[in-house]
Amino acid sequence: MKNFQKAVNAFSLEKNEEAWVYLTKSIEKSNDNYYQPLIYAGDRSTKEGNFTQALSYYDASLLKQVISSTYLKKSRVEKYLYRWDDAIADLHRYLEIARLTNDRRKLTEQELRNLQFGKESYLSYLDNGGTLEVKKLPFSDHKMEYFPCITGDGKTLYFTARDLESKKTDENLFNGFVTGPDWSSRSAPLIGALNSPGNEGAATISADGNTMVFTACDRPDGKGSCDLYSSTYQGSSGWGRPMLLKGKVNTPAWESQPSLGPDGTSLYFVRGSSSQSQNHDIFVAHLDDNGAWNNVQRLPRQINTGSREGSPFIHFDGETLYFSSERSPSLGGSDFFKSTKINDTAWTTPVNLGFPVNGFSDEFSLVIDHTGTTGYFASNREGLDSDFTALSPDLDLYEFSVPLKIRPSMTSYVNATVIDEETNMPIGSAKVSVTSLTARSSVFNGFSSLFTGEIRPMLQPGNTYSFTASKDGYLPYSNQFVIDEYADERLELRMRSITKGASFILQNIFFSLDNSELRDNSLSELNALFTLLDQQVELSAIIIGHTDNQGSVIYNQELSEDRAEAVKNWLVEKGIDPNRLRSAGQGLSEPVATNDTDKGRAQNRRTEVVLN
């Protein structure tokens, strides 16, 4: 008894080597009924990660005294050793002999279901080869690092870091870069006005790397305990002064863990009563024309179950959502799940990502690059590539090869710059809309970088996209591009200043086949034309329709006139004075390309605008 007490005291003083000497003596000298040192030795071995030794102590204790909780402890240790059948059997035994309240029995039965799921997931993992390419990122060091986010080109990773060994232990935002074939060996805190003596963290970055939304707490201008702020990259001076998000995202509650959608107009985030509350749910907000985040909606019950959801990441495909949840089935306290968007109000049933992405530790903050093949997450696992049960008190960042069955759709991207045609200087804050002509859907609505004129829309390889740009003082820009899998080229959206007598082509105004009915995917172009005429009230416009050579001369003449008239009528309905507008048709008489190919005929079908 004295040796046992000496062992307990030594462990409390972290004199582990001395403590084990006393504990071993206590076990050797104990009588047949003295089982407590054995259970204590099993608990200590479990805490130290020596699971096989822990089981031997628990088994020895059961030979002296059957204690129901010992079977529960055995079951949990056997799970760490992947002895699933033994773990399930011992948990069944615990349920049989333990006196449990109804609530406690329900929790244990849930733990049993989790074990059965763990067995299935682990066997599936082995059937698929039992390997996972995982490595700790080179710049992940002694700091606690978590909540990664990645740019659309996959070349910059931002994350939250906290250095508990430093005099300043507040949370700050850091980044690491791809240098050559691998990531940089060191990370750096963000320069500029973003980091402060307070806490900044849980950030998301726009695909082009120019806008960051992050979490800050207890600020004078905040609405709740933690709120969402945004900052814009300002070139060599770094990140600009953070601004509280406008709109209805921030409330007196707790908001955190944002994820920007690739379209630039959707923002997923977590809201709860407090950082520690159990009512954490995932919401989505939408950016309105005034730059405010409104139309805030809680995601449906497929996503939010009341089991504390968090860490949403909407992939660059705009449809695949990854998030953490404490729901069952689960391998650890919190696992990663995946769901796919069906429409604005429905999602597929979330699927647990299973082994080996999920382990026995808590998992959170998962992101996946635009290709869908490489992922990044924070975990307190020490050795994912060899033993994904090993636990560490620190959080580090890991890179892994995403298993095929949990991958999102592959996306590509385009680096585009809005440029002044005359000066060759970048144009900042130009409104840019990108529409998939293949899928007939809008994929990007945003503004070019104030300092670089750049945008980086995320696109599907092989699809055709329309690009429309508008800016006060400039003629609308209009063009179409086919996107390749590898986006090595840089597009230039060259805009011309407004002058009387200037003419320009709107390539992306579309009509139904053989008639003058405007299609919905013409809206971005029509809106750009409306904005120009609404701002330049001294200008009038002639709208001229052109066709290809399919059909007779008379047919195409009438069709071109009707289509030009349809554009004019649309503008009038929007509020443009009809006295400022005139429509005309040129039929097939003025081709700008050959009519012998589909591409050439598409170029000839166009809407021209002449300003007066």
Domain boundaries, the chain: 31-127, 134-406, 411-497, 499-612
| pLDDT at res. 381 | 58
Task: Residue 603: name the closest of 524, 547, 522, 519 by CA.
Answer: 547
Q: Report which of residues 90 and 520 the model is more confident about.
A: 90
Q: Say if residue 225's pLDDT is above 70.
A: yes
The CATH fold of domain 499-612: 60s Ribosomal Protein L30; Chain: A; (3.30.1330)
Per residue in 430-440, pLDDT (tens digit) is 999 999 998 88
Task: Residue 313: name the closest of 180, 408, 210 by CA.
Answer: 408
Torsion angle of the four alpha carbons 43, 49, 51, 57, in this order, in degrees rounded to the nearest 10: -30
Contact of 332 with 360, CB cutoff 8 Å: yes
Look at 44-53, 189-198, 477-486 and tell me which has the smallest mean pLDDT. 477-486
The CATH fold of domain 411-497: Immunoglobulin-like (2.60.40)
134-406 domain in CATH 1.20.120.10?
no
Confidence band (pLDDT; 50, 70, 90) for 382? low
Q: Report which of residues 131 and 83 the model is more confident about.
A: 83
Candidates 3.40.50.300, 1.25.40.10, 3.90.1150.10, 1.10.10.10; CATH matching 31-127:
1.25.40.10
Angle at 274 between CA 268 and CA 279, to 5 degrees: 65
Enclosing H/E stretch for 553: helix 553-574
Q: Say if residue 375's pLDDT is above 50.
A: yes
Q: Is the dihedral of CA 179, 183, 187, 191 positive or negative?
A: positive
Contact of 173 with 201, CB cutoff 8 Å: yes
What is the rounded average pLDDT for all residues in the chain? 92
Contact of 297 with 243, CB cutoff 8 Å: no
Q: Say if residue 243's pLDDT is above 70.
A: yes
Residue with tokens 């050559």: 180
| pLDDT at res. 489 | 67
| pLDDT at res. 499 | 92
Whether the predicted model's global pTM rises above the 0.85 cut? yes
Contact of 217 with 232, CB cutoff 8 Å: no
